[in-house]
């Protein structure tokens, strides 16, 4: 693998910018600051996941990465789709579905070939052609090498990962990226499921850096946060 990812493709920022409509930019800007400027995150990289499916983790990861890379020229951010169970960043951002992480890790492809530039500050690495050997890919020594390349080439790395209560992926990835942001759908996910997710990621060596209450319509009392 090379030590300096290049950037393939052309700017394709309209789908990405749509994620930040109606005041979302301010919200995600606050989340970015609370993670990276307050000491919550110890390094350059974070994992973003949910307890179960369809809680909005992929959208949160994409919006967070887009916000962190703005304004233009401030930071260089890599957004990585490591959700091999249900990859969606390519569809969300209207990108080519391959090559991506599967080819980089499983076939020793140069990361520079797979990088897709979305805005001037944001590059995306899609999941690629998922072969069904997810655990083999996750446990490969090439995963750590891939993230080392990204951490050398970017200011921050945001990784979208599979639901922690359904798959062991986050527990495995936490051995390389310790800090985790957990996304919970406020109206659907039981508190017990969030608590279980926290225990599972911590069992793998991860640290809960933040909890995003997605689709929250009403203020949540502080005592509920303390009980998670």
Average pLDDT (12-18) is 55
9 lies in some domain:
no
Nearest CA to 171 out of 140, 210, 131, 201 is that of 201
Higher pLDDT, 15 or 35: 35
Separation in Å, CA 114 to CA 101, 124, 178: 8, 8, 24
Instruction: Judge whether residue 8 has pLDDT over 70.
Output: no
Query: Total domain count for the chain?
Result: 1
The CATH number that applies at residue 214 is: 3.40.50.300
Report the alpha-carbon distance of residue 159 to residue 80 in Å, rounded: 5
Q: Is the pLDDT of residue 75 over 70?
A: yes
Residue 61 lies in a domain: yes
* DSSP helix/strand/coil, 190: coil
Specify if 129 maps to a domain.
yes
Report yes or no: 176 and 169 within 8 Å, Cβ to Cβ: no
Residue 220, domain member (yes or no): yes
Question: Which pLDDT score, from 0 to 100, does residue 223 have?
Answer: 36
pTM for the model stands at 0.86
pLDDT digits (tens, 9 = 90+) for 171-195: 999 999 999 999 998 778 888 999 9
Q: Is the omega angle on the peptide bond into residue 71 within 30 degrees of 0, that is, cis?
A: yes
Asked, for residue 102, whether it belongs to a domain, the answer is yes
Residue 110 lies in a domain: yes
Cβ atoms of residues 203 and 171 within 8 Å: yes
> Could you check whether the bond before residue 99 is cis, i.e. omega within 30 degrees of 0?
yes
Q: Are strands 77-81 and 156-160 parallel, antiparallel or unpaired?
A: parallel
Residue 89 confidence class, pLDDT cut points 50, 70, 90: very high
In a domain, 157, yes or no: yes
At 45-66, the pLDDT tens digits run 999 999 999 899 999 999 999 9
Distance CA 211, CA 16 (A): 22
Q: What percent of the chain has pLDDT over 70?
A: 83
pLDDT category of residue 17 using cuts at 50, 70 and 90: low
The better pLDDT of the pair 224, 85 is held by 85
Strand 116-119's sheet: what is its strand order? 116-119, 122-125, 77-81, 156-160, 45-50, 179-185, 207-214
Range of the domain at 177: 14-227
Which pLDDT value is given to residue 2? 45
The Cα 176–Cα 165 span in angstroms is 19
Phi first, then psi, for residue 46 (nearest 5°) are -140, 150
Name the region of 188 (left: φ>0; alpha: ψ -120 to 50; beta: rest): alpha
- For residue 86, is it within any domain? yes
Per-residue pLDDT reduced to its tens digit, 25-47: 788 888 999 999 888 898 999 99
In order of 34, 37, 110, the CA distances from 12 in angstroms are 28, 28, 22
């Amino acid at each position: 693998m090379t030590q300096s990812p290049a950037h393939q493709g052309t700017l394709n920022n309209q789908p990405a910018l749509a994620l930040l409509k109606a005041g979302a930019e301010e919200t995600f800007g606050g989340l970015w600051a609370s993670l990276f400027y307050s000491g919550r995150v110890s390094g350059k990289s974070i994992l973003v996941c949910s307890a179960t499916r369809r809680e909005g983790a992929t959208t949160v990861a994409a919006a967070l990465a887009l916000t962190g890379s703005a304004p233009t020229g401030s930071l260089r951010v890599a957004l990585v789709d490591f959700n091999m169970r249900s990859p969606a960043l390519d569809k969300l951002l209207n990108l080519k579905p391959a090559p991506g992480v599967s080819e980089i890790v499983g076939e020793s492809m140069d990361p520079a070939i797979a990088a897709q530039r979305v805005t001037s500050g944001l590059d995306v690495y899609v999941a690629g052609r998922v072969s069904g050997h997810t655990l083999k890919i996750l446990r490969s020594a090439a995963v750590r090498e891939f993230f080392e390349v990204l951490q050398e080439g970017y200011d921050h790395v945001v990784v979208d990962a599979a639901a922690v209560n359904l798959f062991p992926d986050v527990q495995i990835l936490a051995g390389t990226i310790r800090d985790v942001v957990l996304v919970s759908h406020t109206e659907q996910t039981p508190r017990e499921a969030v608590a279980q997710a926290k225990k599972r990621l911590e069992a793998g060596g991860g640290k809960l850096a933040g909890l995003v209450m997605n689709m929250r319509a009403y203020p949540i009392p502080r005592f509920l946060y303390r009980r998670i």
